[in-house]
Amino acid sequence: MATQNTAVAPKEERTVSFQRSIYDPGYVNAMSHFYRGEMGRIMVWRQRLDVTTNWAITSTTAIITIAFTTREVPHIIFFFNLAIVWVLLWIEARRYRFYDAFRARLRMLEAHFLVPMVMENREMLQGEWKKLVCEDLILPCFKISKLEAVGRRLKRNYVFIFILILLAWITKIFLHAPMAMDGPLAFYHALRVGHIPSWAVAFILVGTFVSVIGITIYVGQKTSAEISEFGTHRSLWRI
């Protein structure tokens, strides 16, 4: 019996020591600085997302202004607008993947470190979250695919820019058409610009619309948002 008690005692002491080390001032201080550093990192990437979105809005506004100011400007100018916005969307999706990778670390710290500290519940600290964070620090990796990143940025910002461009393109054709728009056939013929046939312009219009709506719907069904629309006990926050 004495031998068993002697064997159990060190194990209990190690458990108590481990639980106390979680709330050790040095450990908490290090984790607090780590959290602050990760917060600063995602804020930098968040600002980079705003820059590309502002470029997309600025270029779209400038092209729409030029297109409607002069009648002689062909409506094919909106093709270049679409190309610019697609390129900016691709760049922003890449930046968003970096932002999401570091945001995931931050959420891991909030869910598994800050919440137990606030709740004073040591049981919530158990799990593999420390191992996952350490592995990600050694070998960082993206948490979402390129398509999902494109879909998220489309859903939140770029879908409205694309819709605005398509509406402006169609309005430009109606207002500055060389012939009377008395039916769908006349509109189809008005799509022709120089040596570019009507079917090519129609393909770009329809292809862009279908791609934007399709990717937005597909990604929206496959992924969940970062913040829920209606949180639990939301009425308690009406201070």
Distance between first and last Cα of the chain: 60
Q: Evaluate whether residue 178 is within a structural domain.
A: yes
Q: Evaluate whether residue 109 is within a structural domain.
A: yes
Q: Evaluate whether residue 234 is within a structural domain.
A: no
CA distance 89 to 149: 10
- Full domain range(s) for residue 178: 13-225
Q: Evaluate whether residue 140 is within a structural domain.
A: yes
Q: Evaluate whether residue 5 is within a structural domain.
A: no
Task: Map residue 196 onto helix, strand or coil.
Answer: strand
- In tens digits, the chain (239 residues) has pLDDT values of 444 444 444 545 544 444 555 567 787 888 888 888 888 888 888 888 899 999 999 999 999 999 888 888 888 888 899 999 999 999 999 999 999 988 888 888 888 888 877 777 766 666 688 888 888 889 888 988 899 899 989 988 899 999 999 999 888 888 877 776 676 777 777 778 778 888 888 888 888 888 888 888 888 777 766 666 665 666 666 65
Q: Evaluate whether residue 8 is within a structural domain.
A: no
Q: Evaluate whether residue 115 is within a structural domain.
A: yes
Q: Evaluate whether residue 7 is within a structural domain.
A: no
Nearest to 169 by CA among 185, 189, 191, 154: 191
Structural domains counted in the chain: 1
